[in-house]
Amino acid sequence: MVQVDYNMPKNKNAQKAPQNDNNAAAQKALQQQIETLPDPVALSQALMNAYQQSQPLFMNMLQKMGQTPPSTELQNFDPDPMNVGSAATHFMNAMATNPLKFWDMQMTYAQKQAQLWQSSINKMWGQESKPVIKPQKSDRRFRDDSWNDSVFFDFIKQYYLLACDFVEQNIENAEGLSENEKRKLSFTSKLMMDALSPSNFAMTNPVVLQETLQTGGMNLVHGLQNMQEDFARGNGQLKISTTDYDAFKLGENIATTPGHVVYENDLMQLIQYEPQTHGVFKRPLLIVPPWINKFYILDLQPQSSFIRWAVEQGHTVFCISWVNPDAKLAQKGFDAYMFEGLIAALDEIKKITGQPDCNAVGYCLGGTLLATTLAWLKAKKQEKRIASATFLTTLIDFQDSGDMKLFMDDEQIDEMIEMMSRTGVLKAEELQRTFSLLRANDLIWSFVVNNYLMGKEPFPFDLLYWNDDSTNMPAKMHSFYLRNMYRDNLLSQPGGIEIDGIKIDVSKVKTPAYFLSTKEDHIAPWKATYETTQLMSGPKTFTLAASGHIAGVINPPSKEKYCFWSANDTPKSPEDWLKNAEETTGSWWPHWQEWIKHYADGQVEARHIKNPLEPAPGRYVQVRSN
């Protein structure tokens, strides 16, 4: 979690005030440190003003909460939702079995605390002092200079980071625990420590204190107003706003690539996009997005739309827009998503274009469906219907599927299936809550600080608007997915799963494939997605993009951000692949375009839409889960 400097030099005179000629400089340094602290009188006045101004709001909020019927979710509250209790018991047993080991770690922790105290005294008197511990570069909580400039807040920050490191080291060094138990304990303890961060409390966050002084406490009043609105938005539960929801409207400023729905059934609408070039590639392109979220992650604002960019490169682009299911579709299974989704789309594309095949792109769960369909088509001797396959951050082998697997043990899956049996679907907010926990500091606590402590409105961000527009999952489909993919990892086993009487064997797929993974992916870890290169039998190209599951994929060339790694071979070990890979600055999109040109089959005149049902982005994507 953190970088610890265990070579802190000791200074026996650190706590003594500097003598002789250095006194003046030391006194000046001390005065400067005092000035970094908030004026206690002004702060008291600001807090009193905030208290007086917020009383009507607070009472009104309590009254409304008292009138709201108790939530069924709260009534069915599970005190151990991640089933971490047994792991915690084993951890306590490990401490009791080998107390000297933990005592030694406790002593090391005490020494680091003493070094931190010395370091802070040195800094207070103006002496050079190295930090005992530093946040990771990716940790945005302590980026403001005030966390470093003030001895007081620097001490709070480092004391907290030392505590985090101590907890993590205790779990890592515990004997007799399985790796899965350690991962559960580490993840759960990190959630708790993230919640206790000094950045999340007004009186220990220097940025919040400065804002409180400047606004006379009105930031806290505005924060309470924001909280009240979020309670109303969540129908009595706190639903933290992550963006300005009024800033975006589908079809107007996001999901605006010109096109029409050309086919629909119970599960999906098929969108065809208008050509933007005189000629187009003969072989059309089908995009299969995940149905955990909506397709327009690939068609956000025009400057960051992969769909628009692909159309501009000369592709005839079709994209599936999945329905946001309700209980009526509870019995739609994984096979339905294949037959009524991907196979139905292939049929319609053939009717519309006259082409017997197409290139296909599958994103995340859409890629898992694409791989399953390729294996099914191979068994049916129809594999030529898809000329090439592109897999974006796709898991086929779920053995090492990252932190998501912490939510997928037998007890949790059984509980989830039982809940879905009552509602017919896995509700969107359940999945959204899980994804938020995977990045709690970015997707929860940063907005708590911004919205409630700083009293500011969240920034209008199209990606976060999409992230909050999540979808339900049909009970039958999701039960199959959890058991067969995440828990039992059967898709990676020849004949492990069966679709319509056909045993699925991904290893027999010889379709040329392009794999795109992202280096910081917390949903589909890149080393796990790399395993697919060892499963499929056809020509393979693997590319690794910088950043995460979304930002690494949605990275248009015009932004000139990040980088990607590529190599000609796909050895067994992902580490060996990375050693030999070449790094290229910028977006992976042009690299993919050069690859897929080999499967474009020449050019024809642009294909214009002839029998539209309704303008893109269509009705299905407009249905919100709440």
Average pLDDT for 375-388 = 97
Q: What mean pLDDT value characterizes the chain?
A: 90
Residue 414: the pLDDT is 87
For residue 300, name the pLDDT band (cuts at 50, 70, 90): very high
CATH numeric code, 259-442+456-622: 3.40.50.1820
Burial code (b: 16+ CB inside 10 Å, e: under 16) for 598-614 equals ebbbeeeeebebeeeee
Residue 3: the pLDDT is 46
When mean pLDDT is compared across 60-64, 131-135, 427-431, 458-462, the lowest value belongs to 60-64
**33-63 tens-digit pLDDT:** 787 788 889 989 998 998 898 888 878 877 7
Average pLDDT for 487-491 = 94
| Predicted confidence (pLDDT) at residue 380 exceeds the cutoff of 60 | yes
Please, which residues have CB within 8 angstroms of residue 593's CB and are 6 or more apart in sequence? 313
| Predicted confidence (pLDDT) at residue 478 exceeds the cutoff of 90 | yes
Strand partners, 585: 563
| Predicted confidence (pLDDT) at residue 12 exceeds the cutoff of 50 | no
Judge whether 563 counts as a catalytic residue.
no
Alpha-carbon gap, residue 442 to 461, rounded angstroms = 14
**Could you tell me the residue ranges of all domains in the chain?**
2-69+84-215, 259-442+456-622
CA distance to 56, 226, 240, 425, 447, per residue, from 216 (Å): 18, 18, 25, 47, 21
pTM check: above 0.85: yes
Instruction: Say if residues 527 and 389 touch (Cβ distance below 8 Å).
Output: no
**192-249 tens-digit pLDDT:** 999 999 999 999 999 999 999 999 999 999 999 999 999 888 888 889 999 999 999 9
**576-589 tens-digit pLDDT:** 999 999 999 999 99
Residue 7: the pLDDT is 43
Instruction: Say if residues 309 and 471 touch (Cβ distance below 8 Å).
Output: no
Residue 10: the pLDDT is 46
When mean pLDDT is compared across 7-21, 236-250, 476-490, the lowest value belongs to 7-21
Q: Which of 164, 358, 364, 563 is catalytic?
A: 364
Alpha-carbon gap, residue 450 to 444, rounded angstroms = 10
Beta strands in 430-475 (DSSP E): 473-474
For residue 31, name the pLDDT band (cuts at 50, 70, 90): confident
Average pLDDT for 269-280 = 97
Please, which residues have CB within 8 angstroms of residue 13's CB and are 6 or more apart in sequence? none
Residue 11: the pLDDT is 47
Instruction: Say if residues 592 and 514 touch (Cβ distance below 8 Å).
Output: yes
When mean pLDDT is compared across 37-51, 289-303, 447-461, 532-546, the lowest value belongs to 37-51
Average pLDDT for 456-485 = 94
